[in-house]
Structure 1
Amino acid sequence: MRLQDVDLNLLVVFEHLLRLRTVSGTARELGLTQPAVSNALARLRRLFDDQLFVRSAKGMLPTPVAEDLAEPVAYALDALQSALNRKVEFDPLRSDRSFQLAMTDIGEVHFIPRLMSALRERAPGVSIATVRNTAIDLADAMSVGQVDLAVGHLPELPSEFYQRRLFRQRYVCMFRAGHALDRRTVRLQDFERADHVVVTAAGTGHARVDEILAKLGVRRNIRLRVPHFVALADIVATTDLVASVTEKFAERSAAYFGLKSIRHPVDLPDIQINLFWHGRYHRDPGNQWLRDLIFELFAEG
């Protein structure tokens, strides 16, 4: 016998007959007619090739086959009923759930310190793991729940992903205090003559900056290429190298390394930073809670 061959409604009738021992009582409790219950019993008998219930002075008595079925059927129906009635909730104060977020290292610099501070107060048992969105197949990882949320400029994610804008920011030119470019405005020719450090962030929205500059014919004297942003502020603070970075990264670098930044001499488009999640987890309470928290902490009008 295969499960797909069984009408689950028949098992509901079976469970009521087993408990009430009458066709009329089963019909009344299930809101059915007595012929409908009798028909269901006949189908059950054919299905299990057994009488299942026999009439007696004490009502419908179960056969040994019915008695053997009683416990597993009752357990299965109870488990199914519980699953259907279950209201999934997420209590951040009690949860020990671990969330995985995809972002660049520049995203970690901006989001993680403030997020972890908020979690310490609001969800002390919740933990966070970050993963580079370029190190995995991000769409697949999010579709199967390996990554809960992604943050950044990710136009390549397909349409089944929800997204919510956090903020927009522009690019600036960043350098150490006292640099030759450390003045109110910088001419394009002075920018081109300077020594540059470039972050090779392939697969992210930041890579578009290099593409745009190349397309516009802007020539930079690139002296150093690094694969990430982690050491960029330290490098710029201790050299004469110039970097093209987002405004928020430049502000944080100024606070911790005393760096300076000015409006970029090239008219680069603003970059939009979004929060992304897969449609499969749109109503997941934990996912909802975390993205609401991130939006509360970081969204700008």
Structure 2
Amino acid sequence: MSNISDIELNQLRLLQLIFETKNLTRAGERAGLTQSAVSHTLKKLRHSFNDSLVIRQGNKLVLTPRAESMQTRLNRWLNDFERNILIQEEFEPLYSSRTFYIATSDLVEQVIAAPLIKHLSKVAPNIHLIFNKLDKHSLASQIESGEVDFSISVVESSHPSLMVTTLYRDDFLSATRNGHPFLGTKRDAQSFCRYPHILAGTGKDNRGMVDDVLEKMGLSRDVQFKVANFSSAPHILESSDAILTAPRKFMEVIADKFNITAFKTPVNLTSFSMKLYWHVKNKDDQSNRWLREQIVQIARGEDHMPEF
């Protein structure tokens, strides 16, 4: 009876070479094994199959009837195993219709979505992108559960299941409608606080980092309007006397689309990093790697593919 559980894949590969070459020395050379290692492995295979497999007749080896009957099937099995198990199917963006899910905020959508989709329409026209709302408190679980493939956020996470790269660093600008009276002033912090402000955010209170900095300066502002999404802020901005403070990249996107004027914020705000997260299990997945390269390329404005 054969002891199949004792057989290793590398042993079967050597047996295939022995059957093919009918020469232990040449089989060993092709497998990168010494003569003694070949002899030792053949001895183990003979024991496992309970058959001599090859016997010497004069100066050559001949296959036993058992070996002859299994040679074709062994070749087919090893080739199928290599093709279907060991070799990963090639990902071809031009022909793929895969759907990718990205969790992020409307702020990031405003900055990245349009140029990314425009780029993908040229290099992967059948790819589907689904943008989901980012849950900052469950960033890791959204990726771990498979709900999304990527998260793009300013959130810092050191979760062991996540991998991360910085897409870009950003700072802040402020803006008003064209012709706003603030534009004709000194544009200092005191004048900045004389006008109403727009705050974009989902927090429960009406404070942002601008308020924290102003408080340290002994100043305060009037947040007259608060919106949950950055996308609605420019509409309010151009039809009111309010001032909006937002990330520079967002301001650059909306500057030419609305009747607004951007200017340097007259308080010192800390810059921040926008990060791309994905699951460690997808580190070497071809499609996942390809899309994150596209996202990084678009976010950084690069002319070449980044290396991870």
Normalising by structure 1, what TM-score?
0.71
Contact 2:149/2:278, CA 8 A, preserved across alignment: yes
Within 5 A, what are the aligned runs for 1:1-301?
A: 6-17=7-18, 26=27, 30=31, 36-48=37-49, 50-51=50-51, 53=53, 59-63=62-66, 67=69, 71=73, 73-82=74-83, 86=87, 89-134=90-135, 137-139=138-140, 141-142=142-143, 147-157=148-158, 161-172=163-174, 174-201=175-202, 208-209=209-210, 211-213=212-214, 218-275=219-276, 281=282, 284-299=285-300
- Secondary structure in structure 2 of the residue aligned to 1:186: coil
Aligned length: 294
1:116-159 residue CA offsets vs partner (Å, 9 max, x unmatched) = 22222232222322233326743455578765554453433568
Kindly, what percent of the aligned residue pairs are identical?
Answer: 24
AA partner of residue 229 (structure 1)? F
- Secondary structure in structure 2 of the residue aligned to 1:118: helix
Deviation at 1:252, TM superposition (A): 3.3
- Secondary structure in structure 1 of the residue aligned to 2:129: strand
- Secondary structure in structure 2 of the residue aligned to 1:264: coil
**Whole-angstrom distance in 2 between the partners of 1:253 and 1:155:** 27
AA partner of residue 170 (structure 2)? R
Contact 1:236/1:242, CA 8 A, preserved across alignment: yes
Deviation at 1:258, TM superposition (A): 0.8
Relative to 1, partners in 2 of residues 1:32 and 1:134: Cα closer, same or farther, differing over 3 Å?
closer
Contact 1:100/1:146, CA 8 A, preserved across alignment: yes
1:173-224 residue CA offsets vs partner (Å, 9 max, x unmatched) = x33334443434434344334333322256xxx9655554556554332333
Contact 2:166/2:273, CA 8 A, preserved across alignment: no
Relative to 1, partners in 2 of residues 1:145 and 1:272: Cα closer, same or farther, differing over 3 Å?
same
**Whole-angstrom distance in 2 between the partners of 1:150 and 1:165:** 11
Normalising by structure 2, what TM-score?
0.70
**Whole-angstrom distance in 2 between the partners of 1:187 and 1:178:** 17
- Secondary structure in structure 2 of the residue aligned to 1:63: helix
Deviation at 1:246, TM superposition (A): 1.9
- Secondary structure in structure 2 of the residue aligned to 1:100: strand
Contact 2:167/2:273, CA 8 A, preserved across alignment: yes
AA partner of residue 182 (structure 2)? L
- Secondary structure in structure 1 of the residue aligned to 2:64: strand
**Whole-angstrom distance in 1 between the partners of 2:91 and 2:75:** 29
**Whole-angstrom distance in 2 between the partners of 1:243 and 1:266:** 13
Contact 1:176/1:260, CA 8 A, preserved across alignment: yes
Contact 1:53/1:63, CA 8 A, preserved across alignment: yes
**Whole-angstrom distance in 1 between the partners of 2:113 and 2:136:** 19
**Whole-angstrom distance in 2 between the partners of 1:141 and 1:69:** 49
AA partner of residue 168 (structure 2)? L
- Secondary structure in structure 2 of the residue aligned to 1:223: strand
Contact 1:197/1:222, CA 8 A, preserved across alignment: yes
AA partner of residue 170 (structure 1)? F
Contact 2:197/2:223, CA 8 A, preserved across alignment: yes
Residue ranges of structure 2 left out of the alignment (5+ in a row): 303-308
